[in-house]
Structure 1
Amino acid sequence: MAAMAAMAAVLFLLLAGAIRVSKGASFTFENNCEQTIWPGLLSGAGSPPLPTTGFALAQGESRSVPAPAGWSGRFWARTGCAGDPAAGAFACATADCGRGTVACGGAGAAPPATLAEFTLSAAAGGSDFFDVSLVDGFNLPVLVSPSGGKTCSATGCVADVNGACPRELAVVAGGETVACRSACGAFGKPEFCCSGAFANPNTCRPSSFSQVFKNACPRAYSYAYDDRTSTFTCPAGSSYRIVFCPSTSSQKSAGTNPTAVPAAGGGGDGGGGDVIIYQGFPYSGAAAAAATAALVAWSFLLVLLV
């Protein structure tokens, strides 16, 4: 009986740990900027809803929201916001979602906006995919720092691209550049937008404008087919910090510039395929699968003993 009780206790702890991993994942938003920002949150079609679609975040503040399994969508930060949300008169200088309120309510960011994009695994043992994208332009530096262990790597755009923004792409307010448009947003040409005859990776190539973004932020998407160095993965159940205007100490966690190569599919939404080859190693959640098998074995043994 004592052995059975001990085994039951071990099984309980293992199961409790598994529950914490699967249910405790979160997105934590941190504001290291010198002013208040207003993060926007947009869930993809069919994704579990998040408890908020937008909020204010003062300098130095942080806020966490749950990261439900199977969720996909994007985050960004609005800047220079003012007006009365109660009267529907709330608006932002950059990345406005056009709702007139602090909550974005299912609306996306008006370009230019730095985007953090996620596709979380719906199954234990799977892989999350994430990226930081400048395909819609740039407004603030962003760092995404995962907590999934050695198989994960931080990514982001930690440089202030506004300072290097070509004059043709610059969004100027009050005499200073507050955002940097993409070439697609500035000129609307198919070769910049990867549309029409250029809607495939063979014909849509980097431009001198997208190279400005890539030189400043090697890990971020600089144009629509920039998958090879820009899509990252982490085991299912990982939590993520999304840091706006990351400090020097935050940037150190990003390490050296990696190469992230989708094994199949790909795309700016980070959702192509179940395995990514990263620095020569495939990551598909094998460790999580092994843990699940161990729990099943313990449960089966306990049933036999009872």
Structure 2
Amino acid sequence: MRIFNHCPFAIWPGLLNNPNKALPENGGFYLDKYHTRVFQVPDGWAGRIWARTNCNGAGHCETGDCGNKIECRGAGGVPPVSLAEFTLDGWQGQDYYDVSLVDGYNLPVRIEPIQGTFRKVSNSHYDCNPAGCHADINAHCPPELAIKNSGGWTVACKSACLAFNTDEYCCRGAHNKPETCKSSQWPKNYPAIFKQSCPDAYSYAYDDTSSTFTCHGNPKTGYVITFCP
């Protein structure tokens, strides 16, 4: 894995392993602007990566905070955050990866397989191509979803589920399957705000068909996660 901070400011990447998977880099670190950090994950790794912003010396972060510490050590980031998600060596040795805005958005992010480490098996848009969200959703986040800092600037944008906690927006209860969790049944189509800005990223829980990317390694795919691509 390679994390590149293309933002004009420092970030603090956070990493969280899925159950029974290794935790890379103790779960988090500082990354200066325009710098890269490279690390290894074991075969079959699964987890998520996000960026924390404006952290202080005590480890408290304006967005994506994982409990007032630089190394998250198994704690997830407080949403809203943009997530880079991975399941490596899955079905038939295939990697699965996506950028998720299901829990909201804080920074643009891209996942890209590294040339020479993968083999395409189709001409599909979702076969070993970059996944991500390049747009600045904070710039047009609706006021009822916006997270503002002390200076009044929008620093993150909540999902409708996070903001309103209803079964419709959270795809739960009677709405816990694709047939019953869809825009035609929502009071307002907030996920469309995310989807129109970032068509290749998850905007709600059942947004799989236009958001999940796959790749086969040659022999193992390396990935670059770029914040502010």
**TM-score, normalized by length of structure 1?**
0.67
**How far, CA to CA, are the matches of 2:25 and 2:34 in structure 1?**
22
Once the two structures are superposed, the pairs formed by residues 99-114 of structure 1 within 5 Å of their partners are: 100-114=68-82
Deviations 1:108-161 (A, max 9, x none): 1111000000000069x6100000000000000000001224441111001111
**How far, CA to CA, are the matches of 1:205 and 1:138 in structure 2?**
20
Equivalence for 2:124 = none
The offset of 1:178, in angstroms, is: 0.4
Give the partner amino acid of 1:71: W
Give the partner amino acid of 1:143: R
Match of 1:181 among 158, 168, 177: 158
User: CA separation of 1:122/1:135 partners in 2, compared to 1, >3 Å: closer, same or farther?
Assistant: closer
Residue identity (%): 50
Does residue 48 in structure 1 map to residue 29 in structure 2?
no
Secondary structure of 1:159's match? coil
Does residue 134 in structure 1 map to residue 101 in structure 2?
yes
**How far, CA to CA, are the matches of 1:50 and 1:177 in structure 2?**
30
Does residue 78 in structure 1 map to residue 52 in structure 2?
yes
The offset of 1:175, in angstroms, is: 1.3
Once the two structures are superposed, the pairs formed by residues 82-161 of structure 1 within 5 Å of their partners are: 82-84=56-58, 90-98=59-67, 100-121=68-89, 126-147=93-114, 148-150=118-120, 151-161=127-137
The offset of 1:167, in angstroms, is: 1.0
What's the C-alpha RMSD, in Å, of the aligned pairs?
1.4
**How far, CA to CA, are the matches of 1:175 and 1:185 in structure 2?**
20
Does residue 199 in structure 1 map to residue 153 in structure 2?
no
The answer on whether the counterparts of 2:22 and 2:41 sit within 8 Å (CA) in structure 1 is no
Deviations 1:92-120 (A, max 9, x none): 0101111x210001001111000000000
Does residue 213 in structure 1 map to residue 194 in structure 2?
yes
Match of 1:239 among 218, 222, 225: 222
How many corresponding residue pairs? 213
The answer on whether the counterparts of 1:69 and 1:122 sit within 8 Å (CA) in structure 2 is no
| Structure 2: gaps spanning 5 or more residues | 121-126
Does residue 69 in structure 1 map to residue 46 in structure 2?
no
| Structure 1: gaps spanning 5 or more residues | 1-26, 85-89, 247-306
Match of 1:38 among 8, 12, 15: 12
Greater mean deviation of Cα atoms: 135-144 or 49-58: 49-58
Deviations 1:11-57 (A, max 9, x none): xxxxxxxxxxxxxxxx1000011110000000000113324310000
Which structure has the larger Rg?
1
Secondary structure of 2:200's match? coil
Equivalence for 2:207 = 226
Give the partner amino acid of 2:22: P
The offset of 1:83, in angstroms, is: 3.0
Does residue 166 in structure 1 map to residue 135 in structure 2?
no
Secondary structure of 1:70's match? coil
**TM-score, normalized by length of structure 2?**
0.90
The answer on whether the counterparts of 1:74 and 1:115 sit within 8 Å (CA) in structure 2 is yes
Task: Considering Cα pairs closer than 8 Å and 6+ residues apart, tell me whether 1 or 2 has the greater RCO.
Answer: 2
**How far, CA to CA, are the matches of 2:23 and 2:7 in structure 1?**
27
